[in-house]
Structure 1
Amino acid sequence: MATVVLLRTGIVCSVIAFVFMFIAFSSPYWYKSWTRVHSSFGNIGLWHICLNGFIMPRDPVMKSYVGCWWIHSTEFDAVEMQIMPVWFRFIQAFCVFTLIADLLGMVFTILYIPEGIRSRLYTKRPRMFFINSALLLGAALLVFIIALVFAEMTNDSSFMPRPWMNYLSWSYGLCVVSGFFSAFGGMALFVLGLLYADKEANGDPGVTSAAELAARQKELEKQDEAMRNQPGMIMSSVHQAPPTHPQYGSGSALTYRGGGSMGHMAYQHGPPPIYGSRGALKRPHPSPRSGLWG
């Protein structure tokens, strides 16, 4: 059943998208320095940064930052714009919106499974599926923007020193993969909403569970029983006689068969006249036994 497959696809994709985005949101490995080289930069995430003796360029006091810190710590007030430029703050905000959209899309889609909640929440089923689809597709769009901006801006040496010694790590990769799952789940739910909209337009809301199918079958059985119990519902069959038609036999004989109250009648015309050796026309005489032409 296409609706069941699309629903399961939407649920699985929304759950995976949320889990991957949550891990990327909370892990500190979006951008990392190669371990085989010495760099003052260690790794950075959305909310966490590790430094190995980082000194801000042209800092008059030459303060060195060592260790892993919360990125909004007061320790980084002097270098706040260095480690968190404007574009980085937009990335943080977009990730928050993406996580919320993935969470809502996942929760609303999973709430379709319980019968009691579905009967109250999905009173207008196509509209709810379109809302879930919009949430997941919106999250996928935000991930697309995040991936492009972050990958491009980390190449700027004003963000972290020596960008050729750094690389995009697995937290960034999980964010990108979550966007793909959000897109697939959103498309599946959008198609599912179109199917249910078409079913309801044709007077068939459809079923997606065994309990709903059983209730639907009981309702149809009650309708059939009520129709059978109505007076005057007599089933009759109309028998029609086969049409009368001519049948052509072998040779030149023509046989005509017909049915009716007069019984069965057969007419047969004999062979054509035979011409003798002297040109005289010889007509065959009827046989007294058979009544047919001899």
Structure 2
Amino acid sequence: MASRKAGYILTGFLLSLIGFILSFVGFATPYWLEPFNRDDEIVEIENLGMWQYCFSGYTASRPGNQDMDILGKRYTGCKWVFHREVYTILPEICPVWFRITQALISVDVVGSAFVSLMALVFLCLNMCDAYPTAKEGKLYLIFGLISSISGYICAAAVLVFGYFSDSKEWAIKEPLYYHLSWSYMFCVVGGGFSIFGGMFLLLASMQVKALLKATKPNYKPTLELSTLTPTVRY
């Protein structure tokens, strides 16, 4: 049983770690959306991610923003989404659904990072311990739940982005010329790894509980023979 527990912990840790790495790379890189052909004249955004846009002669698409850009400014180069230079077009490059995606994927990265770090610590300390404690089982339960929830949050983030990025009501004026790119796919796969990592950590928690039950002494009350011998009075 102890070896099975170690296997569950090791597998859960590795899957959660891979999920964190993939999600973090997708979170940090600006390749969630790219055009099929960068040389096409209609392409005004070369690529974008959660925190960075790479413009190629982009102009404001909303009337209100065009009024603010009196000289008809064209944006070029890669800019942080909250850079002061793009403040006037912030509502169209970061609509509400985009900010929701940013928040969800941030929560996923923080959760998966926490689980990976703590699972590594307990893996080193308790993997070969044949006599686990109830506290250890509860901690693996918590880690498993956090990892699984983080994975589902990541799934929600990519679903929101995948659905709304096809709309014309934001910075991408012609979504048919664009496709979901590798940063997005990294988050999709990373979320799946986090979910499966959480499942194995939950199995480790159940195994700890089984080990505690198996090693718990079973006391059976016994009656002494003298107490069963009837006393005879003369």
> TM-score interval w.r.t. the shorter chain?
0.7 to 0.9
The match for 2:85 is: 75
Q: CA RMSD in A?
A: 2.2
**SS at structure 2 position matched to 1:81:** helix
> Does structure 1 residue 134 correspond to structure 2 residue 145?
yes
The match for 2:52 among 45, 48, 68 is 48
* Partner amino acid, structure 2, of 1:189: L
Of stretches 110-119 and 4-13 in structure 1, the one that deviates more from structure 2 is 110-119
Show structure 1 runs of 5+ residues with no match: 205-294
**Offset at residue 203 of structure 1 (A):** 2.4
SS of residue paired to 2:57: strand
Match of 2:183 in 1: 171
- Aligned residue pair count: 204
More strand by percentage: 1
Of 59, 74, 88, the residue aligned with 1:64 is: 74
Identity %: 25
Distance in 2, matches of 1:202 and 1:117, equals: 18
Q: Secondary structure at the match of 1:22?
A: helix
Q: Deviation per CA, 1:52-79, whole angstroms, max 9, x where unpaired? A: 1111123132221111111100111111
Q: Secondary structure at the match of 2:98?
A: helix
Measure how far apart 1:9 and its partner are: 0.8
Aligned to 2:167: 156
Secondary structure of 1:102's partner?
Answer: helix
Aligned to 1:96: 106
2:216 matches 1:199: no
Q: 1:31 aligns with which of 30, 33, 37?
A: 33
Matches of 2:85 and 2:164, distance apart in 1: 24
**Whole-angstrom CA distance in 2 between matches of 1:116 and 1:139:** 24
Q: Quote the offset at 1:22 in angstroms.
A: 1.1
Q: Does 2:202 correspond to 1:190?
A: yes
Gaps of 5+ in 2: 217-234
Q: Give the Cα separation in 1 of the matches to 2:76 and 2:166.
A: 23
- What SS does structure 2 have at the residue aligned with 1:28? coil
**What secondary structure is seen at the aligned counterpart in 1 of 2:215?**
coil
Greater C-alpha Rg: 1
1:68-127 deviations in Å (ceiling 9; x for gaps): 1111001111111000001111111111111110011101110013338999xx761110
- Cα separation, 2, equivalents of 1:112 and 1:194: 16
Distance of 2:127 and 2:83 partners within structure 1: 43
d(CA) in 2 for partners of 1:37, 1:54: 13
TM-score (norm 1): 0.65
**Matches of 2:128 and 2:84, distance apart in 1:** 48
Structure 1 ranges of 4+ moved more than 4 A: 116-119
2:134/2:209 contact within 8 Å kept: no
Give the 3-state SS of the residue equivalent to 1:112 in structure 2.
helix
Relative to structure 1, the CA distance from residue 118 to residue 163 in structure 2 (aligned partners, 3 Å threshold; closer, same or farther) is: same
What's the counterpart of residue 16 of structure 2? 14
Question: Given that residues 32 and 50 in structure 2 are in contact (C-alpha distance below 8 angstroms), is that contact kept between their aligned partners in structure 1?
Answer: yes
1:14-72 C-alpha deviation (Å, 9 max, x unpaired) = 11011111111110001112225231111111111011111112313222111111110
Q: Would you say the 8 A contact 1:48–1:70 is kept in 2?
A: yes
Cα contact 1:112–1:118 (8 A) shared by 2: no
Higher relative contact order (CA 8 A, sep 6+): 2
